[in-house]
Amino acid sequence: MAPRLRVLAGTSTSTMMPMTSLINTSTPFGLSSDVFEGQVVAHIKGLTDEHGELRDSEYFDRSDRKGVTWSIQVQGRFLAPFSADDILFGNTFDRPLILPWGTSAVLKFMHYIDPTLQHDLMSSTKPWALSPLISTMPYFAHTRVSSCVLPPSSSPSPHLLPSGHRSSPNTVSSANIPAFPTMQSIQESTSQLYLAVDSAPSSPSSSSSGSAFTDPSPGSSATSLSSSKSAKSDCRKVGSDRLKHAMKKVTKRSRSPSQTEREVQQFTSSSQRRSYFSNPEKRKTVKFGPDDVITTDFCYGFINFAPSLSLQLPGGLSFDLTRYWDGQPVRFMCCQRKTEGDEGGDPWGRVFWCIAIEMVTDEDEE
């Protein structure tokens, strides 16, 4: 049998698990770590299963997705506060790339699509191409939700995860989480984004969102509250934290909106949102935390993964990427911006989630 595609996903490059059987279906794959919790759905046009049978998706027949050849949809939230300027999305690789003739034209096209793109694709170690998630996503929806930690003695319930994937021990009970996935395409929705504007910017390690269900430090576990001595004391603490959180929201509503809040509320399209947040100072005014559910659809039509890997640019320019592909996965990653002093040898920071598409042969197994 001819080589076929295999898709893996996870919250780190070392813990990714196969999700090929879920591609082109409405069943999401769960993502859970101490800093991010959510789920991913992916569609690849022309995908064949392990028996060589075409497994198509109605997604590509939708009128608002005509011409699209792949889609990576993610819904979730960060369990600690992060600046929108520090949340990146793009491609990362583990070894040098074999770049074809015409790479400069490809990069010009990519910069045209996303002016905030930064890259080092010619790296002799680990190439990368990353952009701020808030300015690169073609479809971005933000929803503010209320949250509360259930006491450790309470029975856990699913949170943002499909059946078979468990969330952290202190499961979060939330209201107003948008359905995911649905039979309708993800659309731009930023009417509540102004609520994520940080009127008093601070470092990720300082107090921010006021949410009651996670330690605000990015390196902390979302289960830190489980050390309470009893369910009664937990409930009392949760009630106090929820009151503080509500008071903070009331205070924010009672004051006059900042210029950034007013500007963010004026978005009427994806292009306006992307143009606005091309400015790093604007991105730094927005902070996403446990109360912010983000739903995105990264979908385009300039790459074909099946029946073979190819790149097609406007004007008829195309590349057969299989001639230059050395077998390493095409990896899409959402990660934290790396700053001076960060540990690790990767050019990128902490991984929030990633999905990899690779070619396998008959000898490879799921």
Rounded to two decimals, what is the model's pTM? Answer: 0.78
- Alpha-carbon span 115 to 86, nearest angstrom: 17
Residue 227 pLDDT > 60 = no
Return the SS3 of 287: strand
> In terms of pLDDT, which residue wins out, 259 or 229?
259
Complete edge-to-edge strand list for the sheet that includes strand 139-144: 29-32, 36-44, 70-78, 292-300, 139-144
Sign of CA dihedral 335, 338, 342, 343: positive
Reported confidence tier of residue 220, pLDDT bands at 50, 70, 90: very low
pLDDT in tens, 158-176: 344 433 343 443 444 455 7
Helix, strand, coil shares, percent, the chain, to 5? 20, 25, 50
Nearest-10 Cα torsion for 257, 140, 113, 135:
40
Angle at the Cα of 241 from the Cα atoms of 238 and 244, rounded to 5 degrees: 150
Segment 56-77 mean pLDDT: 96
C-alpha–C-alpha distance, residues 195 and 129, integer Å: 30
pLDDT tens column, 313-341: 666 667 777 777 777 899 999 999 998 77
**Which residue in this structure is represented by tokens 């995908």?**
47
The length of the chain is 366
Structure tokens of 281? Answer: 């100072």
Query: Cα(83)–Cα(339) distance, rounded to whole angstroms?
Result: 13
Compute the average pLDDT of residues 32-36: 97
Q: Where are the beta strands (DSSP E) in 145-184?
A: 147-149, 172-174
**What is the rounded average pLDDT of the residues 53-66?**
94
Query: Average pLDDT of the chain?
Result: 79
Q: What is the pLDDT of residue 126?
A: 95
Contact by Cβ (8 Å): 366, 21:
yes
Q: Could you give phi then psi for residue 103, rounded to 5 degrees?
A: -60, -35
Cα–Cα distances (Å) from 242 to 117, 142, 143, 284, 302, in that order, read 39, 21, 18, 26, 46
pLDDT tier, 240 (very low <50, low <70, confident <90, very high otherwise): low
Q: How many CA atoms lie within 13 A of 316 on its CB side?
A: 0
Task: Give per-residue pLDDT as tens, 182-209.
Answer: 999 999 999 999 999 987 644 443 333 3
